[in-house]
Amino acid sequence: MANGNITVERATRPVKLPPLLAGARSDAAGTAVSNVILLSLPDEEYNLLRPHLEPVELPQYKILHEPGEKIEHAYFLNDGMTSLVALSADGRSVEVGIVGREGMVGMSLLVDLLRGTFRAIMQMAGTGSRIPSEILQAILPCASTLRAELSRFALMHGMQVAQLAACNRLHDIDQRLARWLLMCQDRVDPQLLPLTHEFLAQMLGTGRPSVTLAAGVLESRGLIENMRGTVKILNRKALEEAACECYGVVQHFNGGLGLK
């Protein structure tokens, strides 16, 4: 079956791979995979992808693709977190979505678009597997479960984007900050989040002074501790209570994507 200039036969040509242990999933280099979508696939579909899954280190602030530019690779994160950021002509930015181990970065490829709408930037360092966009598009017609899982992620993620848009318009900055910190921790797990107030301001679409004040409010209530370049969550339950109702809605989406 053809997709552009690439056939599925070419995309899945035999490649000598490290042995796969029973019950395990690994990429072409033998590195363990923990991405939720990749782990959900039947063996026959995963074996189509595996020869082309390249392990990658994803440092903080690495840009995976820019708006309007060709998407060279799709990324399946094992850990860490990517922000999808809308940019304005005057240089301002606001986060419109996040992707962790539950999904894929490069969702435009699902509908045969090779260019993205947003900047995809690693907000928290991690690791993952990448696959050339043309190879993924060649495999998709032969992988019904992969298509279904990516479509489900696209739907859930679209709901998340809509909820965050409403949140940014309707709720106070301290509520939004609490919600955002919880969403980060859902994807990366650690109590310590490597985040500067400047970067938080960019993600929340506000000024750094506003973020500093909001973080001070949460810290005064014993919910977080602000350290240099890091935010420590001290009381998650109370932080959930401090967040707006949008977190509960987004958490419901998270459950549908295999997150806690």
pLDDT of residue 139: 97
Three-state DSSP at 155 gives: helix
Q: CA distances (Å), 173 to each of 169, 209, 247, in order?
A: 10, 11, 14
Given a cut of 80, whether residue 14 has pLDDT beyond it is no
Q: pTM, whole model, 2 decimals?
A: 0.82
Given a cut of 60, whether residue 25 has pLDDT beyond it is yes
CA atoms within 13 A on the CB side of 53: 29
Q: Does domain 2-149 have CATH number 3.40.50.150?
A: no
* Dihedral angle computed from the Cα positions of residues 124, 97, 64 and 70, in that order, rounded to the nearest 10 degrees: 180
Residue 123: which residues within 8 A CB-CB, separation 6 or more? 60, 61, 80, 81, 82, 83, 98, 184, 195, 199, 203
228-255 pLDDT per residue, tens: 888 999 999 999 999 988 888 877 766 6
pLDDT of residue 13: 45
Domain ranges of the chain: 2-149, 172-243
pLDDT of residue 1: 45
pLDDT of residue 91: 78
Q: Could you tell me which CATH number the domain at 172-243 has? A: 1.10.10.10
Mean pLDDT of the chain: 86
Mean pLDDT of 3-20: 48
pLDDT confidence of 259, banded at 50, 70, 90?
Answer: low
How crowded is residue 28: how many other Cβ atoms within 10 Å of its Cβ? 18
How far apart CA 211 and CA 174 sit, in angstroms, is 8
182-205 pLDDT per residue, tens: 988 888 877 888 888 888 887 787
Mean pLDDT of 162-172: 83
How far apart CA 222 and CA 229 sit, in angstroms, is 18
pLDDT of residue 119: 94
pLDDT confidence of 108, banded at 50, 70, 90?
Answer: very high
Higher pLDDT, 57 or 186: 57
